[in-house]
Amino acid sequence: MSVPSQDNAARTGLFARAIIYSALILFAVYYLLPLYVMLVNSLKPLDEIRQGNMLALPNQWTFEPWRSAWSTAQIGVSPTGLKPYFLNSIMMVVPAVALSTVLGAQNGYVLTKWRFKGDNIVFGLMLLACFIPFQIVLIPSARILGLLGLAGTIPGLILIHMVYGLGFTTLFFRNYYEAFPTELIRAAQIDGASFFQIFRRILLPSSGPIIVVTVIWQFTNIWNDFLFGSSFSSVDSIPITVALNNLVNSSTGVKEYNVHFAGAILAALPTLIVYIVSGRYFVRGLMAGAVKG
């Protein structure tokens, strides 16, 4: 008999299906519960939290904790809220992501289509950068930033994140371009296109999926970074992760848990949005290099 196997998830019995769905719902609740707790408590006055029921919906709905977290809460020594630090993070993340993605794409292009002697060694060394723990490079980085006069500035943080991200972005683009047909590059060479024209006109327009993957990856990593942010920033270049820590760990006054919850959600929001907007491209992009079209 050559009937194809019908034993797949879509055709299993009702009972099995009930089990699958219960498990899925259980895990969904398990993962969503913290978000729920953060959300409901950020919308309560502090008194209600003190009464102890973390899971209850607010009796009295209020956006005051959000407003406070954004613009008036005490962070370190000044009552500025998270707003300036949020802007710091944006000013750091956007250029760092853009630069590391563009440079990674060019590295990938050179390492696959303009092969040179020792290119595999260069690639191996760049790959190694993905495995270096952050802590090891702290002191050398501080020294270099000092020499460049970038210590404690946003451009300094951009530089550190860009260099650190390059290993990953190069890996992503190199593997993606490895499967890109070399004959296309040759055709463009015969058509007279230059090195950068080939990159810009032929390669980049076909790189959508891998660009999405790289941007999500870099954005999440750089936005969520705490170590570099706390090590290499000064008063006016503190990123939001460090500011959130300062908000939550402030040693004076009352612990305003509702403001802390609101602040934590604010700090996580951009990465959440990036995932929601382009998450489906992420999976598609990760698969794209795997199967040669």
Between residue 194 and residue 223, which ones bind another protein under the rule CB under 8 A? Answer: 197, 201-202, 205-206
For the record, the structure tokens of 81 come out as 């809220």
CA 40/CA 21 separation, integer angstroms:
26
Tell me if 115 contacts another protein by CB under 8 A. no
Among 129, 144, 150, 188, binds another protein (CB under 8 A): 188
Single out the segment in contact with another protein by CB under 8 A; choices: 119-127, 178-186, 239-247, 284-292: 178-186
Tell me if 269 contacts another protein by CB under 8 A. no
CA 167/CA 12 separation, integer angstroms:
45
CA 195/CA 110 separation, integer angstroms:
9
Tell me if 10 contacts another protein by CB under 8 A. no
Three-state DSSP state, 8: coil
CA 50/CA 42 separation, integer angstroms:
13
Considering the complex, state which of residue 59 and residue 194 has its C-beta at the smaller distance from another protein.
Answer: 194
Tell me if 183 contacts another protein by CB under 8 A. yes
| Cβ at position 211, least distance to another protein in Å | 13
On the 0-12 / 13-18 / 19+ scale of CB atoms within 10 A, 132 is exposed
8 Å CB contact between 176 and 108: yes
The mark string for 136-175 relative to another protein (x by CB under 8 A, - otherwise) is ----------------------------------------
| Cβ at position 114, least distance to another protein in Å | 13
Considering the complex, state which of residue 103 and residue 193 has its C-beta at the smaller distance from another protein.
Answer: 193
Rounded to 5 degrees, what angle do the CA atoms 205, 206, 209 make?
Answer: 110
| Cβ at position 140, least distance to another protein in Å | 37
Among 12, 191, 200, 269, binds another protein (CB under 8 A): 191
For the record, the structure tokens of 228 come out as 């570099």
CA 130/CA 123 separation, integer angstroms:
11
Backbone CA torsion sign across 40, 41, 45, 48: positive
Tell me if 193 contacts another protein by CB under 8 A. yes
Tell me if 126 contacts another protein by CB under 8 A. no
Can you give the binding site for another protein, defined by CB under 8 A?
A: 181, 183-184, 186-193, 197, 201-202, 205-206
